[in-house]
Structure 1
Amino acid sequence: MQAMPIQKQLRWWSIAAIVLFVTMWLLGPAILPFILGAGVAYLLDPVADRLERAGLSRLMSVVVISLLAILLLVAVVLVVVPILVRQATALFDAAPEMFRQAQVFITTRFPQLLPKDGTLGTALNDLGAAMKEQWGNVAQTVMTSLGGVISTIALLVIVPVVAFYLLLDWDRMVAQIDRLLPREHADTIRRLGREVDQALSGFVRGQGTVILILGTWYSIMLMVIGLPFGFFIGIMAAVLSFIPYVGALLGGVTAIGVALFSFWDEPIWIAAVIAVFVIGQVVEGNYLQPKIVGGHVGLHPVWLLLALSVFGSLFGFVGMVMAVPLAAAMGVLARFAIERYRESALYTGEVLPPDPGQPVLVELLPRGTVEEQIRAAREQAERQRAEVLRDARAMGQDHGSQG
């Protein structure tokens, strides 16, 4: 059977990719719960495999994981989310007054830096007023948009159910997909799949662990210090830490600004807030990132931000959810394309010799061997024919005598 030309294969795979993107664009809100459920199953599959190795069946492993996940989700919704919303609202309400006092302080102490009617002072006043005025509108718009995309029923019912069944059948599903791979490219696709899994797990599982540790450290220590809005600031700094230095910088500046506003007469607490972020950065840079994330092929922050921006613009909230796995896959495919390019004649400038094709087996025999075999075969055929004729005549004579 003749192999399909590579151009035709590329054409079919391109059509499949276009169909996938069009489906995401048209059915985004409808398929979002299933995408989230698949993502949850992917993240929890290593835990289920570990429980299986410990002696539990696959069903019992999934049940245990589901119960723990439900308890954790309930705790987060009932305890963490209300505190975050309350402190975030209070911080945005207090921000204009903080800006005003900062302006008064700078104007009093350093009048040459901030003239009374200068452009910078006017900008600070406008910024503070705008933040207070627009915060309610922004929050309402965000909640309305999310409500239009993700219904409460989808979040509380469809996602857990989809995650449960996909996690239960994850290994069988992966094996079935492996059997459907094109046989000619199966090894290459498996290799790319492993690299995508390493990149995705390196970012999601590794960076998620780092965010969890930093969020716990920042939020608890800032609350112990007594910093207003400390829990929200700590969580915000930890979540943004997937971008190097951005989380610590934004969270540190916000925390120090609030500390200056709240602890102006107690500099020891201001120093304590600074120390919390310095210790967090030292531990993250010297231990958490190298030990937890460093062993994986991760995603570059700039590449991730580009993926979030592009897919978010094209497919909305669904695109933002799919941005991380798609960025991992595209990064692996880009590295694979570069690897093939460096092996090609376009890069090396040397044309590879043509494929010699299948070798032909030639057996050397003494002269006359073939003719001798043909003559022997003919003689044997003549003998067999003579025997058949003799047997036929003998049978005819026997019938005649009987008659």
Structure 2
Amino acid sequence: MEKWTRLLVILATSLLLLAFVAVAVRLSLAIHHTLLLFALGGLVAYALDPLVERLSRGRLKRHLAVALVFIGLLAVIGLGVAWLGGQIAQQTSAIKQDYPSYKDWAVAQATRIDDAFAARGIQTRLAEDINNPSASVQATEKRVAEQGVPILRRSVGDIGESVIVLLIALYFLIFGSDMREKFNGLLPPDLQERADLWETDVNRILGGFVRGQFIIALITGAAAALGCLAIGIKIWLLIGLFVVVAALIPVFGPYIGAIPALIAALVGPTHFGHNTTLAAIAVIAWFILINEAGSKVLYPKLVGAALGLHEVLVLFVLFAGLEINGIVGVLFAAPVAAIAIVTVVHLYRFWQDLPDSLLSNVARSDARREGQHAPAPQPPEPETAAHGP
């Protein structure tokens, strides 16, 4: 009877847990935009936390350190907008001036495609559709033009939401430690230390991922902009900014950023003159070099060590995140997977009554034990022994 009672209790608990998860998922879907804002605010807080910690190690109080960091951040943003705004306006006007050459290039490529299909007995009208758009194309252009005002309104809304994200990050930096202590205080005494270790591991993973990915994105964008400037692409700054955003996507982000650079090299004038093929080859080679340096040198040191995930697993979770929630899923897939693995490991250690420890300490102790059990290297035998007396 006791066995059946225990089984019923386990079954009822499992059903309650499933119901709780279902309700949590429904609520998350209902407030997904708010959750996204808080998640972005948390990521910004993780990126700025090392500066705050370094300033608060001295006599400076934490809230003053946070204020100094945010004043510096706003100053950098203001100077960046003041300088980048003029550059972006110039390069945008350059795109408008070079629009006829872009159209001529597109017509030439479309003519080549039409001729290639015509040689095989297939009639196409790509070049004619570009020169004389059909009614459906004109209707599409009209719809795009009519959407200009909503896009502008959305851009203004995005600026307002960016301010909200910064305010959320500010609150996280000031009150994050107090929130953590109060949350741990609600737990039973025997779980408080384990919860603290789990939170420390999560902070290490998220902090390392956010800071590493941000540094990689800045370095990749700067390298892409300098490379495009050296090749002679007029819109080098716009391409660099696009690459910074694209490089926030792990693994294949820099390749996405190479697309506008390749198009600009094929269309616009460069230092290679009218040899667009050579300019395109230079762009491809430069972006391959950037991505290889980022993936083979920077990513393992700045991000891979923090996540502790194999490259194949990272690719899997990225594609899974893309399928689940698009670009937002890609951005959050890798850290969420790493946190899930850390959580499972901590739960397993709790279930097996293993001692409390950070996972990084466990890995180091395992490595030391393997080194102790490994056979000591034997000194080489004398040469006379090898050849006999």
Q: TM-score, normalised by structure 2?
A: 0.64
1:279 aligns with 2:289: yes
Inter-partner Cα distance in structure 1 for 2:292 and 2:158 = 41
The answer on whether the counterparts of 1:48 and 1:65 sit within 8 Å (CA) in structure 2 is yes
Once the two structures are TM-superposed, the CA of residue 116 in structure 1 deviates from its matched residue by: 9.5
Q: TM-score, normalised by structure 1?
A: 0.62
The answer on whether the counterparts of 2:62 and 2:174 sit within 8 Å (CA) in structure 1 is yes
Inter-partner Cα distance in structure 2 for 1:224 and 1:139 = 34
Partner amino acid for 1:56? L
Equivalent of residue 236 in structure 1, options 239, 242, 245? 242
Q: Counterpart of 1:222?
A: 228
Partner amino acid for 2:283? V
Partner amino acid for 1:177? F
Q: Counterpart of 2:76?
A: 72
Q: Counterpart of 2:339?
A: 332
Inter-partner Cα distance in structure 2 for 1:54 and 1:81 = 38
The SS at the match of 1:295 is helix
Percent of aligned positions with the same letter in both sequences?
22
The answer on whether the counterparts of 1:200 and 1:298 sit within 8 Å (CA) in structure 2 is no
Q: Bigger CA drift: 191-200 or 122-131? A: 122-131
CA deviation map 1:199-236 (0-9, x unaligned): 43343221111011010111133134330322222333
1:304 aligns with 2:318: yes
Once the two structures are TM-superposed, the CA of residue 61 in structure 1 deviates from its matched residue by: 0.8
Inter-partner Cα distance in structure 2 for 1:336 and 1:34 = 21
Equivalent of residue 265 in structure 1, options 274, 288, 294? 274
Alignment root-mean-square deviation, CA: 4.5
Q: Counterpart of 1:396?
A: none
- How many aligned positions are there? 326
Inter-partner Cα distance in structure 1 for 2:194 and 2:251 = 37
The answer on whether the counterparts of 1:41 and 1:164 sit within 8 Å (CA) in structure 2 is yes
The SS at the match of 1:294 is helix
Q: Counterpart of 2:382?
A: none
Q: Counterpart of 1:292?
A: 302
Q: Which runs of 5+ in 1 are unaligned?
A: 345-403
Q: Counterpart of 2:367?
A: none
The answer on whether the counterparts of 1:202 and 1:298 sit within 8 Å (CA) in structure 2 is no
Between Structure 1 and Structure 2, whose CA radius of gyration is higher? Answer: 1
Inter-partner Cα distance in structure 2 for 1:52 and 1:231 = 36
Partner amino acid for 1:303? V
CA deviation map 1:277-322 (0-9, x unaligned): 243234223322232223221672442343355246xxxx9xx3x8
Inter-partner Cα distance in structure 2 for 1:141 and 1:236 = 22
Once the two structures are TM-superposed, the CA of residue 270 in structure 1 deviates from its matched residue by: 5.0
Change (3 A) 1:340 1:241: same
Q: Counterpart of 1:179?
A: 185
Q: Which runs of 5+ in 2 are unaligned?
A: 1-8, 352-389
Change (3 A) 1:332 1:294: closer
The answer on whether the counterparts of 2:205 and 2:306 sit within 8 Å (CA) in structure 1 is yes
Once the two structures are TM-superposed, the CA of residue 24 in structure 1 deviates from its matched residue by: 3.6
Q: Counterpart of 1:256?
A: 262
The answer on whether the counterparts of 1:252 and 1:277 sit within 8 Å (CA) in structure 2 is yes
Change (3 A) 1:106 1:167: same
Inter-partner Cα distance in structure 2 for 1:96 and 1:311 = 35
Inter-partner Cα distance in structure 1 for 2:184 and 2:128 = 61
